[in-house]
Homo-oligomer: A and B are copies of this chain.
Amino acid sequence: MSLVVVGSVAYDGVETPHGRVERMLGGSCTYVALAASYFTEVAIVAVVGEDFRQEDSGLLTGRGIDVAGLERVPGKTFFWSGVYSADMNDRTTLRTDLNVFADFNPKLPDHYRRQPYLFLGNIQPALQRSVRAQMDGVRVVGGDTMNYWIRETREELLETIKEWDFLLINDAEARQLSGHYNLRRAAAAVLEMGPRTLIVKRGEHGASLFRRDGHFAAPSYLLEELVDPTGAGDCFAGGFFGYLAERHLDLVDAHADPRELRRAVIYGSVMGSFCCEKFGVDRFRALTRAEIDGRFQEFRSFTEF
């Protein structure tokens, strides 16, 4: 085992131009863990209710994911539903029932505490810090956040991310966090806040990695058919961090091989693109590592000049 992932495990209801699913497995922790499981051993920390289905737990354990930290408590599992715009670049939330997630207070099983890699999914910054504090000798810590925490718990968030090796957010969040529209300036300002590395996810426009010594820009994969973008950003995170863990890499300036970090961004993009090909986590029921590596090579072929 090597990568610990904390976040939400949820049920989602989703409508896109390709159809509608009333209830399917979702949540940031689920997507990150599934994507990372192609690269490294993964252990999750999350909470679900009594309605959590055996088959959904089975999908995770079937991919070798350690669910010792998946707490089951009385009540219902977190439920979110939303509908996407025609171009799928926007979505409207229809319902958010936090349910058992409202009282989520992550506690790491003993055998998680000495793992080298920790991903803090998009939860309250104070909880992200409490998880970080439970780890003993962690080598690389990174995570995600969202507009709500940037706006409502800014000071707490700044305290939290200043310890991180990487922060993974989208372009709107980078602008909101920094106060700069210009992405180069926004990135410089965010790096000043502490994180060694900033990865900006730009959806259909690709992803960029920023460090003090330079940046890297990757275009997105052009899908023939985008079915459901739910979870794509989390799968990016899983591919990115999973690859770092597989290669035993860290982000300390002296050790970081820039090419390896760039390849991690490409693997993130690859996993995000696969995620969009089917509803929810369905693509991961049959996806193989050979397909993943094949798409990585495709990225090379359409970016080299």
On A, residues with C-beta under 8 Å from B are 86-87, 181-185, 202, 205-206, 208, 214-220, 222-226, 259, 262-263, 265-266, 300-305
Contact = CB atoms under 8 A, between A and B. Distances in A.
Contacts of A262: 304-305
Nearest to A202: B205
Given A217-B303, A262-B304, 6 more contacts: A182-B226, A202-B205, A206-B219, A215-B222, A218-B219, A263-B305
A168 B259 CA distance: 32
Contact of A302 (B87, B215, B219): B215
Contacts of A183: 222
Nearest to A225: B182
Contact of A305 (B216, B225, B302): B216
B181 A87 contact: yes
Contacts of A266: 305
B182 A224 contact: yes
B305 A265 contact: yes
B181 A86 contact: yes
A65 to B, nearest CB: 28
Nearest to A86: B181
Contacts of A208: 219, 222
A217 B222 CA distance: 9
